[in-house]
Structure 1
Amino acid sequence: MHGLVSRNAHQEPPAVHTTDSKKLVPITTPSFHSLEGHEELNEQMRMIELTEEDLALLRRLKPGVEQEIDYITDQFYNTVLGVDKLEAIILEHSSIERLKKTLKQHIIEIFDGDINESYIAKRLNIAKIHKRVGLEPKWYLSAFQNLQNVFITAIYKESLQEHERLRVVQTITKLLNLEQQLVLEAYEKENIREKEEQYLIVKNELKQKIAEFSGELIDLSMDTNAAVEQLVASSNEVNDTFQRTALSAKESQGIARSGHQYLDGLSDQIGLIYESTNEMERSVTELSQSSRQIQKIVSAVQEIADQTKILSLNATIEAARAGEHGRGFSVVAQEVNRLAEDTKNTVFRIGELTRKSGTLTDQVVGEIRKVQELTRSGKIQSDETSRMFTDIVSALQSSTQEIVFVEEEIKALIQTIEGIGGTTAQTAASAEYFRTATENL
């Protein structure tokens, strides 16, 4: 705040006159002022030692204050208007002349020396007005200090004894201090009231937001819980499917092992057949060789039969030449010839059979070789199929292990999802409790 502005450089501030200033005497037995129903305010007045004598002294000072009230208010507002912020507040909400009039009335009421309900109510109303227009307590205190300076300066211009002047200064200081206590307390109460209103507004908004949030959280938790339950059910179905798949894979693995064993046995049988056809081929080859030897023997026998027939013919000729003596020899020759003819015919039939046997043997050998080729091809295919079954068994075994691993993972996932479901349910319960607690705020 700016300092006190005097009227002019040569004009002295007026003295505060009393109706009987020369008769002021020290008060030896103080009588403190008491206001019924305001125990705390009474304690405040006792603390600053505001007595009934002080109030009586104010009443004696009142006429002098009324004479100089224009000077006091002018000095006060000259200082206040030196602060741009305060001037802006005044011009926005009132006028200088109006406020001067109000201040004059306020100061004169101070020197009425009557602290009652009306006095307190007016001070509280001043605090409310100052709070409403945005006047901060620091400016109010500064203005009051300025007013106190004006009073003290005026008192010291009065022709008083030192103890009298001190008593007047103390009395005015006490009253101004009480004024400040009442106004600042009202300031504080108004601040508390505004803060409580703001707190209630924020609290209600917060309760509304929390209630909305809790409701949304409950709905979300319920939706999440339902989704988790559905997910658990789906996971259980997937787990059952995997278990069935694992069982089928194990069964397929067992069937593949059995097929592999069967193929191994079939491969062994094909091998035995292949060996048997080899033995048959060797036997047929030997039979073919025997047929060829028989053919040679048949040829030799045919030659012998032809030679015998020639010999029989020669014998018959010689028997005919011998006449009667050769008749018996002729009979023998005929028998030999017949025998030779029969032998030739028999050998011829044997030769035909042997040739047919050789032809059939060749055909058998050809068929056996075809069987051997088919057997060899079948054995190769059997071996390849066996290897394929081995690979299938290995793949099924690996797949089964992976399915078992996935099954374990799904079980762990189901446990995790069930844990999430439990947590979601707890969250919903917490949100419900939170909303209930909020409603009880």
Structure 2
Amino acid sequence: MFRRKVEENNDMLDLTKLLGDSIRNKSYISLKDNNKDLENMINSLLKCYYDNSAIIGANSIVEKIINLDAIGSMITTSNSQSDIIQSMVASSEELASTADSVSESIQELSNNSNDTKDKALESAKEVDGIVEFIGDSFKGIKKIKEELNIVGSMVKDIKGVTDIIKQIADQTNLLALNASIEAARAGDQGRGFSVVANEIKALAEYSNESIKTIYENIEALTMNTTEAVKCTDIVVSKLMNGGEKLNLIPSNLHNIVELIESIDEKVSHIASISEEQTATTTVLANELS
């Protein structure tokens, strides 16, 4: 619409210039585009002006020329305004293009924030699984520690029983020694009793050797059990510390997700405003063009 008006204004400017040149050169105009009626009318006015046959007619022509100059000035101003409008159209189109680019960037940012949120939620689920696994491991190790403590208690009981057996073996050995002495005093009559006493003594000595081996095994078992309990205590302590720290991770990840959701809401709001501005700018550009 504005381009058509500019073309019409330019035609008027050309006509004004052509008329001015004809007056200065005292010549007649020749119009294109089959505008013979206009051409004849203007040439008649020019002839009247050249012949000075009518002062009124001349003055009228001068006034018309003056009016044509004024019209030319208005046309020039109109063209200048048209140029400004065309510049506004170009600026509006550029603004619309920029708004589209901003909208695309905002959409990309929104997509990235959604991806980050999904990954954070996925990580939170994985951490929850790890925390659950550590909790189960913690329970299992505590159970092992309880069993080891039971074993340690049983070892102590076995050691107590072994102490009693050793005392009995020592006492039996002492009695066998006394029996051997008495059998020796009895001579031939005590020979059979002496054999029995020697067998009892040998059994007592064997019992002492077995008890010694049992003591060694009990000592080793006690040491191993004690060491195992210490190790389980260390593992339990580390699992507790690790579990407490891991318990903070899901909470932190959920906080991150909430922040991302808040940012996503703001981004969506900005995107909505940007789309409205883009639509408004596009309509304005279409109206101006």
Establish whether TM, by shorter chain, passes 0.5: yes
Give the superposition deviation at 1:391. 0.6
**Residues 1:197 and 1:371: Cα distance change in structure 2 (over 3 Å):** same
Residue 221 of structure 1 pairs with residue 85 of structure 2: yes
Name the residue aligned to 2:262.
398
Name the residue aligned to 1:268.
132
Using the size of structure 2 for normalisation, the TM-score is 0.72
Q: Which amino acid aligns with 1:342?
A: Y
Secondary structure of the equivalent of 1:352? helix
Name the residue aligned to 2:250.
386
CA distance in 2, matches of 1:224, 1:338: 123
Q: How does 1:197-236 map to 2 (within 5 A)?
A: 197=62, 200-201=65-66, 203-211=68-76, 213-236=77-100
**Residues 1:312 and 1:420: Cα distance change in structure 2 (over 3 Å):** same
Q: Which amino acid aligns with 2:66?
A: I
Name the residue aligned to 2:196.
332
Give the superposition deviation at 1:203. 3.9
Please say which of residues 223-232 and 330-339 is displaced more in the overlay: 223-232
Q: Which amino acid aligns with 1:410?
A: S
Residue 244 of structure 1 pairs with residue 108 of structure 2: yes
Q: Which amino acid aligns with 2:102?
A: V
CA distance in 1, matches of 2:230, 2:112: 48
Gaps of 5+ in 2: 1-53
1:356 to 207, 220, 225: 220
2:206 to 329, 342, 346: 342
**Residues 1:296 and 1:201: Cα distance change in structure 2 (over 3 Å):** same
Task: Work out whether residues 228 and 418 of structure 1, in 8 Å CA contact, stay in contact via their aligned partners in 2.
Answer: yes
Give the superposition deviation at 1:193. 6.8
Higher relative contact order by CA 8 Å / sep ≥ 6: 1 or 2?
A: 2
Residue 314 of structure 1 pairs with residue 181 of structure 2: no
Question: Cα deviations across residues 262-291 of structure 1 (Å, max 9, x unaligned)?
Answer: 222222222222222222222121111112
Give the superposition deviation at 1:385. 0.7
CA distance in 2, matches of 1:199, 1:348: 143
Aligned alpha-carbon RMSD (Å): 2.5
**Residues 1:233 and 1:325: Cα distance change in structure 2 (over 3 Å):** farther
Q: How does 1:23-422 map to 2 (within 5 A)?
A: 197=62, 200-201=65-66, 203-211=68-76, 213-422=77-286
CA distance in 1, matches of 2:57, 2:277: 56
Question: Cα deviations across residues 148-180 of structure 1 (Å, max 9, x unaligned)?
Answer: xxxxxxxxxxxxxxxxxxxxxxxxxxxxxxxxx
Gaps of 5+ in 1: 1-188, 426-441
CA distance in 1, matches of 2:185, 2:64: 172
More helix by share: 2
2:287 to 401, 412, 423: 423
**Residues 1:196 and 1:328: Cα distance change in structure 2 (over 3 Å):** farther
Larger Rg: 1
Task: Work out whether residues 298 and 348 of structure 1, in 8 Å CA contact, stay in contact via their aligned partners in 2.
Answer: no
Q: Which amino acid aligns with 2:72?
A: K
Using the size of structure 1 for normalisation, the TM-score is 0.49
**Residues 1:342 and 1:192: Cα distance change in structure 2 (over 3 Å):** farther
Give the superposition deviation at 1:418. 0.8
Task: Work out whether residues 319 and 327 of structure 1, in 8 Å CA contact, stay in contact via their aligned partners in 2.
Answer: yes
Give the superposition deviation at 1:316. 1.7
Report how many residues are paired.
236
